[in-house]
Chains A and B, each alone.
Chain A
Amino acid sequence: MIELRNIRKSFGPREVLKNISLKVNEGDVIAILGPSGSGKTTLLRCISFLTTADGGEIVFDGELFRANHSSRKDILRYRKKIGFVFQDYQLFANKTALHNVTLGLTVGRKMPKTEADDIGKKALEKVGMLEWSDSYPSQLSGGQQQRVSIARAIALNPSVILFDEPTSALDPKLTGEVLDVMKRLADEGTTMIVVTHEMEFARRVADRVVFMEDGLVVEENTAEEFFANPKDPRSVDFLRGIQRGVSQAD
C-alpha cells in the first residue's frame, strides 16, 4: 500500500536518512525501533511531508509521489490519506476535544457540521473520551490528550496512521491507557507505522519491526524473530542495552 524508495535527508553535513526503502502492506503494524538520533522521527516526518526529503519516492495506493518536490496540491491530497499522532499531542488549544476531532472534517473536507459531529463522537467513543467532548486540551491529562489526538487521526478515516513516539511524554500509567487504544486499533486491522521506545508494545502488537541506526535500516524482521533471534549484531547490542536498562530500573 505504501512503498518508500530511497528516501534521503541531510541536515547540513549530517546525513540523517541514507536511502531508506520500506514496504508497508494494508493491515500491517510496523514498529520502528532504534537509538535516539537514528532518524526514526525524521523518516516519519518525511513520509507525511512535514519535512521535505532531499530525494526518493513514495508510492501510495499505486500513485507515485516524489518525496522532494511534490506540488502543494498533491501533498494536500496525499495527506488526506494519512493520520499523524505527535509525541506531544499538538491538540488545537482553542478548540474542545470534539472540535479538535471534527475540524479536519468540517474545514479540510467541507463536511456538514452534524455529520462531522457524528463521526467525531464515534471516534471519541472509540478512545474512551466521549464524556470529555466539551473539554479543552488544557483541562485534560497527557494520556487523555493523546487519546483525543488519536481520535482526531482516526476520524479522517486514513489509510495509514503514523505514530511518532506517542507515549514518550507520558508516565507509565498514562502510557498504558494510550497503548490499550493503539492495540485495539491494531486488532481492528488499522495500518500503523509506530516509532516507539515501548518494547513490550513492539513485541506484542507489531507484525514487523524495522530497526534503524545512523540513518539506515539495519534489520527488518517479524516482531517475534527480532526479539527472539535478532540477526544483526547492532540489533543484538540495542536489545541487550534495553534489557540492562530495565534490570537497572528494577
Chain B
Amino acid sequence: MDARILNELVDSFWKLLIPGIRVTIPLTLLSFSIGLCIALAVALVQVAHIQVLKQAARFYVWIIRGTPMIVQLFVVYFGLPSIGLTLPAFPCAVIVFSLSVGAYCSETVRAAIESVPPGQLEAGYCVGMTFTQTMRHVIIPQALTTAFPPLSNSLIGLVKDTSLAYSVAIVEILATAQRIAARTYDYFWLYCEAGLIYLIFCTFLTWLQRKMEKRLERKR
C-alpha cells in the first residue's frame, strides 16, 4: 500500500463516516424502534390468545421470515409504484426493515414473556389487576431483561442489513464507497474501509450492550 492510497483512505474515511452517521444510524434506530413496537404487539397477541389476531400475526411472521429482505425491498420500492403507490427510498427502507425486525424479534419477545413464571400473572389477577396491568408492571419488564441480549443481537444485525438499502438507491456507507472506488479503481481498499466503518459501529454497540447488561444484572 503506497502513500497515495493511504492518503486517499484517510480522506475517504470521513466521506464514508458522514453517510454512516446521517443515513445508516437514523435508518437503524428508526427501523429498530418501530420494529420493537411491532414485535411487542405481535408477541402480546400470541400470549393473550386472541384467536383472529394470532392467526394474522403468524401469517405475518411466516411471510417476513420466509422471504429474502432484498426481495421485500424490491417489492416495496420497485413493485408498489406499478400498482400506483410510489414512496421515496428512505421510507421504503424503514418499512421493510421495521417489518423484518418486528417478525424476528416477536419470537424473541414471546419466548421471553413465556419464560416469566405464569404464576406471577395469576398473582397479578389475585391482587385485583387486569391482564394488561399485570403485563405492563410485572411481566414485560422481566421479559425485556431476559430478551435484552438477543435483542441487542438483532440490533447489531440490523446495522449491517441496512447496507441492503444500497440496492434501492439510498446513499449510505456502501454506496458511497462504491462511488469513490468507481473513480479511483481502489475497490479492494475502499470496500475494506466500508467494512471498517460497520465494524466500528458494531463494536460500539457490543460495548454498550455489555455495559447495559451489567446494569440490568445489578437491578435483579
Which residues of A does B touch, CB under 8 Å? 48-50, 76, 79-80, 82-84, 86, 88, 90-95, 103-104, 107-109, 136, 138, 149, 152-153, 156
CA distance A91 to B126 in the complex (A): 12
Residues in A neighbouring B138, C-beta threshold 8 A:
92, 94-95, 103
* A76 close to B122 (CB less than 8 A): no
Pairs of residues from A and B, 10 with the lowest C-beta to C-beta distance, nearest first: A104-B127, A108-B128, A90-B119, A84-B126, A90-B123, A80-B128, A108-B129, A92-B138, A94-B141, A94-B142
Q: Mark B97-117, 1 if CB is under 8 A from A, else 0.
A: 000000000000000000011
Contact call A83/B119, Cβ cutoff below 8 A = no
Q: How far is the CA of A249 from the CA of B122 in the complex (A)?
A: 35
Residue of B nearest to A87 (CB): B119
Contact status of A76 and B127, CB under 8 A, knowing A92-B120, A107-B137: no
Residues of B contacting A136 in the complex (Cβ-Cβ under 8 angstroms): 220
Q: What is the count of residue pairs linking A and B with beta-carbon distances less than 8 angstroms?
A: 67
In-complex Cβ contact of A107 among B125, B133, B145 (8 A): B133
Q: Within the assembled complex, what's the spacing in Å between the Cα atoms of A101 and B119? A: 16
Which one of B116, B128, B141, B145 contacts A104 once the chains associate, using CB atoms below 8 Å?
B128
Annotate B56-69 by CB proximity to A: 1 below 8 A, 0 otherwise: 00000000000000
* Majority secondary structure, B binding face: helix
Does B33 lie at the interface of the complex (its beta carbon under 8 Å from any beta carbon of A)?
A: no
New A-B contacts (16) at CB < 8 Å, excluding given A90-B117, A104-B129: A48-B126, A76-B130, A79-B126, A79-B128, A83-B126, A86-B123, A90-B119, A90-B122, A90-B123, A94-B138, A103-B137, A104-B128, A107-B129, A136-B220, A152-B127, A156-B127
Chain A, residue nearest B121 (CB): A90
Chain A residues, CB < 8 A from B124:
92, 103
Query: What residues of B have a CB within 8 angstroms of the CB of A49 in the complex?
Result: 125
Q: How far is the CA of A50 from the CA of B121 in the complex (A)?
A: 10
